[in-house]
Structure 1
Amino acid sequence: MKLKHIHSDPEILGGKPCIKGTRISVELILETIANGASITDIVQEFPKLSPEAVQEAVLYAVSVLRDEIVIEVKSVA
């Protein structure tokens, strides 16, 4: 996946994926969407963001989860 807007730098937010040129993390964008905000709402709240950058943040999160390996762990009682 070629990312135009997402960047990770250990010197910025401890390496969390962010929108390039900002300290706005993919995590913050997802949390804002989860709380009911639309892409338009997010762009209005964070004028440095474009709708494309917000959409790419969501697509980035999807790609990370797609590659996640889930291992079932059963507790022993």
Structure 2
Amino acid sequence: MEPIDRITFDPAVMGGRACIRGMRVTVATILGLLAAGREREEILKSYPYLEDGDIDQCLAYAAWRVDERDVPLSMS
């Protein structure tokens, strides 16, 4: 898997949510648009400062997160 280097986290940008290259566009926004049936070309036209690789990395990041497992910490 290629490194996911376009997805950034900054508490000062969108409350620290996963964003694309430090911009105020969240991964969730792009994933939501894709889930709603929007085409890549339509998304890129609506957000002209994004690149095709940004969409690829949103999908890669989402796939990685879905594969992660949350393990509760024991408080004993």
In 2: Cα distance, 1:62 partner to 1:5 partner: 15
Partner residue, 2:41: 40
Decide which structure has the larger Cα Rg and report it: 1
Unaligned runs of 5+ in 1: 71-77
Report the TM-score, using the length of structure 2 for normalisation: 0.83
Judge conservation of contact 1:39–1:55 (CA < 8 Å) in 2: no
The structure 1 segments of at least 4 consecutive aligned residues displaced by more than 6 Å after TM superposition are none
* TM score, norm. by length of structure 1: 0.82
Unpaired segments ≥5 residues, structure 2: 72-76
Question: What is the CA–CA distance in structure 1 between the aligned matches of 2:44 and 2:31, rounded to whole Å?
Answer: 13
Say if 2:10 and 2:22, in contact at 8 Å, map to a contact too. Answer: no
Aligned residues: 70
| Aligned match of 2:9 | 8
Would you say the 8 A contact 1:18–1:25 is kept in 2? yes
1: distance between equivalents of 2:43 and 2:69? 27
Report the counterpart of residue 58 of structure 2 in structure 1. Answer: 57
Root mean square deviation of aligned Cα: 1.6
Distance 1:3 1:53 in 2: 10
Question: How many angstroms apart in 1 are the aligned matches of 2:60 and 2:46?
Answer: 20
Q: 1:28-57 CA distances to partner (integer Å, 9 max, x unpaired)?
A: 000001111111111111001001111111
